[in-house]
Amino acid sequence: MILMAILLKQPLKISKKQFLNSIIASFFFLVYGNGVFVWALRYVDSGFGALLASTQPLFVLFLLRLIDRKPLQKKSLIGVALGMFGMYLLVSQKELVTSEDTLLGVFMMLTCVLSWSFGSVFVSKANLPKSFMVSTGYQMLAASFILFLLSISTNESWSSPLSWSREVQLSMLLLIVFGGIIAFTAFNYLLKVVSPEKVSTSAYVNPVIALFMGWYFLDEKLTPQSIIASSILLTGVYFITSRKRK
């Protein structure tokens, strides 16, 4: 991202305040919100994890209510009720909760969604570099350094990308190009020009795709209750994000 900014002749200069804000944003988004979420995937199916991530608009709405004292509209209240009922149907499935570690994974994922949601509200108000490419680059650099230290301190094993299977190499390439360079930069840009609750609308697109891809590629269980629960949850999210802003 920094190299792309240099090629496009965008200024890399950053103030101390902007640098500190970039570190804070990188922690909520990439270190905790993304790093811990990936760790929790060892205990929870990818599709189920994506559905948990779809609760982000609910968290954003509550945070805006607490921080900005924004009143909850009727559509929002309906959305929250549907979202919580959908979450109950999802988490209460015995087929998905195979051990105590699964419950731990679910709990940690929900804290990650809260972290990402708070980061969204923070970035929408924070003083960051005007160039969203530069802002994204500094956030990724800060997060990569922190995650590197955490990985070393926990004695994780490292391997060369050349030793990975082709499937893993392709997955990483897609994550870097589309998930990192394109999507995360667009996400940072939108947080400055659109309200955080509107930006979180991506949360009701990703889970449906992830749920069915997990079922198709990874043979993950797709129970009728999961389909019903996801429909109710995403309907709740729709009510929240489609309401008129006062």
- What pLDDT shows up at residue 70? 67
CA end-to-end distance (rounded Å), the chain: 37
When pLDDT is cut at 50, 70 and 90, the band that residue 115 belongs to is very high
Q: Quote the Cα angle for 68-35-195, to 5°.
A: 25
Largest CA distance in the chain: 55
Is the separation of the CB atoms in 37 and 53 below 8 Å? yes
Q: Please tell me the predicted confidence (pLDDT) of residue 33.
A: 93
Domain ranges of the chain: 16-148+165-241
Half-sphere exposure of 17 (CA within 13 A, CB side): 6
pTM of the model: 0.75
Non-local CB neighbours of 125 within 8 Å, separated by 6+ positions: none
Residue in the block written with tokens 């990188």: 26
pLDDT in tens, 73-88: 777 778 777 877 877 7
Reference 91, options 58, 45, 29; nearest CA is 45
**CA-to-CA distance for 240 and 98, rounded, in angstroms?**
32
